[in-house]
Structure 1
Amino acid sequence: MSRASMMMMMMPMSVKSVAVLLLAMACCCVCEPQANADCGGPSSSCSSLCLCCLSKDVAMVVEKLKTLESRLEENQRVVGVLRGQPRVAFSAALRDSGGGNVGPFSVATPLKYKRVFSNTGSSYNPSTGVFTAQVKGMYFFRFSMFSNTIGHSNSIVSLMKNGERLTSVWDTTGADGHDMGSNAVVIAMEMGDNAYVELLANRMVFDEYMNYNTFSGFLLFPM
């Protein structure tokens, strides 16, 4: 049994078809003993030279095909994981109509972001302003705040997780009342954990159709 035939028997079916095509071309091979001296020397026969060099070409093609097949399998695995991964993402603005200040309230109050841009997974509740994790995982949250108080700024908001303050944005100094800020976190959440943006007591924020105040989040990956 020739070396080329043995190689074909060991190849996967997806590779064999290409190898058969290349070997079939042997009958049309143009022999150039001097140019192919490294395959068997100038004294080698025409057929042995062609098969020798062609088998090397087949081996190269086989290795390249194996690499491509490996990459394809990995890509298919990643796509499969992504398709099976829970999809959780939301984004909302504070007002769905009108404009003006929200607050002040006598106690710290969750802000209700009523204009929902997206809510894949239905984990955000615009009636309460609270996001409730339905999937255990690592999450990203971002929020923005706008202060438009004339005379003296008076705005403080915080991102809360289960009642615990994580990070804040504030503007309580200066005569100008047109200031804006934002903040973000990446946190682990268990099923049932909640996250929301809280307006501190006796503070206020301003919003209108321009949607300055927003609250967004999404699942980075489940755990």
Structure 2
Amino acid sequence: MQTVVLLLLISCAVNGAQDNLNGAKPAQCCDGSVSMAVGALTEKVANLMDKMTQVEAKLDQTETELTQLKSITLGTPKVAFSASLTETGSGNTGPFNIATPLKYKKVFSNFGSNYNPATGIFTAPTKGMYFFRFSMFNNLEEHSNSIVSLTKNGQRVVSVSDTSRSDNRDMGSNAAVFPLEAGDTVYVELAANRLVYDDTMNYNTFTGFLLFTL
């Protein structure tokens, strides 16, 4: 289109020059064609500008979505752990004179390294909603005598118990979902004067992971 306009302008200029040499009035024959061509070119440029505006808007939207996706995939820490009570051998854990955190020493996974097998304590790395589950296998004595509780910052949340029974080899589990602040602690606590049994079958387990940040 630009080439057509230029050719028309050149043609009109040549004709005007010849008319001047011949002493005639400059021709006006091409004015209408040039106006039509310029109008068409203006319309085409306007359409291209509209399309460019639309493309820029889509690019901005895509960039925003990518930023949000990065914040989800990169900004959220990966937090998950699972462990069992006994690393080797078999036998009872407890009794103790006071309530004591159970140390789950055989670690199956510990993404983020927020669970400490030396203390049995999980420390939240970020504010969020967390899931925890634990299982308990009672002692193998004549009368079962086991009570364990999931605790948040030292406060009991849920428990499992098997006491004052004539049978043994019983097992139970419990779970909970609750919010944590960064630095909050969670562990499974063995009640005072109680005990649990475990061996290489890994009956007693402690598992937790971050569901989503808050």
Pairing 1:130–2:121 present: yes
Give the match for residue 20 of structure 2: none
CA contact (8 A) 1:94 1:114 kept: yes
- Count of aligned pairs: 172
Q: TM-score with structure 1 length normalisation?
A: 0.66
Counterpart amino acid of residue 143 in structure 2: H
| 1:109 CA displacement | 0.8
1:157-196 equivalences in 2 (<5 Å): 157-196=148-187
Matched residue, 1:81: 72
Contact 2:139 2:195 in 1 (8 A): no
**1:14–1:144 Cα change, 3 Å:** farther
Shift of residue 77 of structure 1?
Answer: 3.3
Under a length normalisation based on structure 2, what TM-score does the superposition of the two structures give? 0.69
How much does 1:13 deviate? 9.4
Alignment of 1:47-86 (within 5 A): 74=65, 77-78=68-69, 80-86=71-77
Q: What residue in structure 1 maps to residue 15 of structure 2?
A: none
Superposition CA RMSD, Å:
2.9
- Equivalent position of 1:26 in the other structure: none
Secondary structure, counterpart of 1:87 in structure 2: coil
Structure 1 residues 8 and 105, CA gap change in structure 2 (3 angstroms): same
In the alignment, what sits opposite 1:114? 105
Distance 1:101 1:194 in 2: 25
Give the C-alpha shift of residue 170 in structure 1: 0.7
Contact 1:111 1:198 in 2 (8 A): yes
Picking from 85, 90, 93, the partner of 1:102 is 93
Query: Which of 146, 163, 170 is residue 155 of structure 1 equivalent to?
Result: 146
Counterpart amino acid of 2:135? S
* Alpha-carbon distance in structure 1 between the residues aligned to 2:107 and 2:53: 52
CA positional deviation for 1:195:
0.8
**1: distance between equivalents of 2:71 and 2:183?**
27
